[in-house]
């Protein structure tokens, strides 16, 4: 319906207003896999489009019509959607306000853009630690794989910030926040005052405290400079050990293997993606990884790193040593919340925020990887972007809400579609478990008291919207389950019920 936001449950694309396309313009699934969604920071069309957003890479093109080709990813004009203004005047816009944003990732830049849209007269300052123009962090593995150039990583060209009068201060560290005085202290010694502060501090790679992590050749992949260092050192024939069998670890391993490095992935659990997948699905995913020439070691633990000043190998708890020229840790991230704690903001794992992205101090907002909303640390691109928009609007004197996004468990790893939801690790015999395993797909369905408790889809995720609906609505599946003999039959019944 016009004015309604509809979200693709497979890839997350949001269609705003008008009739749904015959298929998702991003991933190609049909209309039946869209669901209604209220995302307050996405505006409803009410005036001529002023910009166009690429559905593939989120590049924003200013103008009345889309470009002939996206300058970032090359998508054609049919892969752009119109972007409309927020509409209406902000409720209490303070034209002389100074808004300072700490952090120049997608949350910070989205906040700056939304703040400028809401309040044309405000001073907007973005302070970032890295020297580069703000870039697509999620594309670092694509850059590592040679699929993108460094220029294509940038969110916007330098002129974009100048046109919007957004002051960008790269290579600057914020050392302290004085909430009482409404000021921040920079590593340069300067003190900058603010009327509203937005913290988009992001996260850092977690490196476990094992012996030898201070040796040369021990690396992470979180920044552009990390990627450049890996490209310099991980040449053809280099021995690389990646610690961590999650999405980042697998994508990093695939990129390095594609460049001719000899790659081993170590995962302490017995299978890959242990939080999202059950053992059978994780082990099936392993076959895709091994086809890329990557060696997998699951169910093993790291004891220490060998070598003098430079790492020469990884020593496992079994005593085995794996030779290594480089060791790359991809074992998760931790929020950068030290500044917030020092400023006496309420912090749990992340900075606690409400639906306005407001922290425990009224004139300070937070968004992105560092923000904890209703107990959730999303750690994903789309929520960071939407949270940044909401924080920017509210900091500029407008009114916007972040109601939360569905906790999407849809992943794409090494071009393999995965869907995981709910409890995929049943604890006892009170659960009914069905599996459907075929050459091109795998499915797991977990029921308790005739209600779907969890599911995994690998290869074919066409049932994802139906399964999500069943779990969220706690729908009784007794009719579907009656007389079902195996997972393949159950899958057919679920598909049939979803179409009716």
From the first residue on, what is the mean pLDDT of each consecutive set of 10 residues in the chain (500 residues)?
54 60 57 58 41 60 77 64 46 73 97 96 97 94 92 94 97 97 97 98 95 96 96 94 94 95 96 91 93 95 96 95 97 95 97 97 97 92 92 95 72 80 88 90 94 92 87 89 93 80
> In this structure, what are the phi and psi dihedrals at residue 456, rounded to the nearest 5 degrees?
-135, 135
Task: Write down the residue that tokens 């409309």 correspond to.
Answer: 84
Cα(173)–Cα(19) distance, rounded to whole angstroms?
Answer: 47
CB 461 within 8 A of CB 409: no
The interaxial angle of helices 487-499 and 464-473, nearest 10 deg, is: 80
The pairing of strands 326-329 and 239-243 is parallel
The pLDDT of residue 23: 62
Q: What is the pLDDT of residue 71?
A: 66
Burial of 61 from C-beta contacts in 10 A (0-12 / 13-18 / 19+): middle
Could you tell me the sign of the dihedral formed by the alpha carbons of 110, 115, 118, 121, in that order? negative
With residue 390 as reference, give the H or E element that holds it. Answer: helix 381-395
Contacting residues for 280 by C-beta, under 8 A, at least 6 apart = 435, 437, 442, 444
Count the helix, strand and coil residues of the chain and give each as a percent rounded to the nearest 5: 25, 30, 45
CA distance 227 to 116: 32
- Which pLDDT score is estimated for 92? 47
Per-residue confidence (pLDDT) for residue 89, from 0 to 100 = 38
Distance CA 311, CA 225 (A): 20
Tokens of 447: 């029921």
DSSP per position, 323-364? E-SEEEE-S-EEE--HHHHHTT--BSSSEEE-TT-B-SSTTE
pLDDT at position 407 is 58
**How high is the pLDDT of residue 82?**
66
d(CA 262, CA 23): 40
Structure tokens at 358: 């407001």
DSSP letter at 365 equals E
- The two structure tokens encoding residue 187: 């590593």
What pLDDT was estimated at residue 90?
39
Return d(Cα 20, Cα 14) in angstroms, integer.
10
Between CA 491 and CA 494 the distance in angstroms is: 5
Token readout for 349 is 């794992």
Distance CA 399, CA 467 (A): 34
pLDDT for residue 387: 96
Please give the pLDDT value at position 472. 78
The alpha-helical segments, DSSP class H, found in 127-223 are 140-144, 150-153, 158-163
Distance of alpha carbon 489 from the chain centroid:
35
């Amino acid at each position: 319906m016009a004015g309604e936001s509809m979200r693709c449950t497979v890839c997350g694309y949001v269609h705003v207003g008008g009739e749904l396309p015959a298929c998702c313009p991003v991933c190609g699934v049909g209309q039946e896999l869209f669901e209604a969604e209220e995302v307050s920071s996405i505006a409803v069309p009410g005036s001529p489009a002023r910009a166009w957003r690429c559905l593939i890479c989120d590049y924003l093109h200013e103008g009345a019509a889309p470009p002939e080709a996206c300058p970032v990813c090359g998508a054609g004009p049919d892969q752009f959607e119109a972007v409309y203004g927020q509409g209406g005047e902000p409720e209490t816009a303070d034209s002389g306000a100074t808004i300072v944003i700490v952090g120049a990732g997608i949350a910070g830049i989205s906040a700056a853009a939304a703040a400028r849209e809401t309040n044309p007269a405000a001073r907007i300052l973005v302070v970032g630690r890295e020297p580069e123009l703000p870039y697509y962090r999620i594309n670092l593995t694509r850059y590592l794989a040679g699929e993108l150039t460094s220029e294509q990583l940038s969110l916007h060209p330098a002129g974009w910030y100048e046109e919007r009068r957004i002051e960008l201060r790269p290579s600057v560290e914020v050392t302290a926040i004085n909430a009482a005085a409404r000021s921040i202290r920079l590593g340069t010694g300067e003190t900058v005052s603010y009327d509203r502060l937005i913290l988009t501090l992001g996260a850092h790679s977690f490196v476990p405290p094992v012996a030898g992590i201070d040796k040369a050749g021990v690396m992470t992949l979180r920044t552009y400079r990390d990627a450049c260092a890996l490209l310099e050192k991980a040449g053809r024939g280099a021995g690389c050990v990646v610690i961590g069998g999650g999405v980042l670890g697998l994508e990093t391993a695939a990129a390095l293997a594609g460049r001719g490095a000899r790659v081993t992935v170590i995962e302490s659990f017995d299978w890959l993606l242990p939080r999202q997948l059950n053992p059978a699905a994780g082990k099936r995913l392993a076959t895709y990884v091994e086809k890329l020439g990557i060696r997998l070691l699951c169910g093993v633990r790291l004891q220490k790193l060998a070598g003098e000043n430079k790492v020469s190998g990884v020593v496992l708890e079994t005593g085995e040593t794996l030779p290594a020229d480089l060791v790359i840790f991809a074992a998760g991230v931790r929020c950068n919340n030290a500044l917030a704690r020092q400023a006496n903001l309420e912090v749990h794992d992340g900075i606690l925020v409400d639906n306005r992205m407001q922290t425990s101090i009224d004139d300070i907002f937070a968004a992105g990887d560092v923000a904890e909303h209703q107990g959730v640390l999303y750690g994903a691109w789309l929520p960071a972007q939407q949270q940044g928009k909401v924080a920017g609007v509210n900091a500029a004197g407008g009114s916007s809400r972040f109601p939360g996004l569905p906790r999407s468990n849809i992943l794409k790893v090494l071009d393999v579609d995965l869907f995981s939801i709910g409890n995929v690790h049943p604890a006892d015999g009170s659960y009914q478990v069905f599996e459907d395993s075929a050459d091109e797909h795998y499915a797991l369905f977990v029921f308790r008291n005739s209600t779907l408790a969890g599911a995994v889809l690998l290869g074919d995720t066409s049932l994802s919207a139906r399964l999500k609906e069943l779990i969220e609505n706690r729908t009784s599946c007794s009719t579907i389950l009656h007389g079902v003999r195996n997972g393949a039959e159950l899958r057919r019944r679920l598909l049939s019920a979803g179409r009716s």
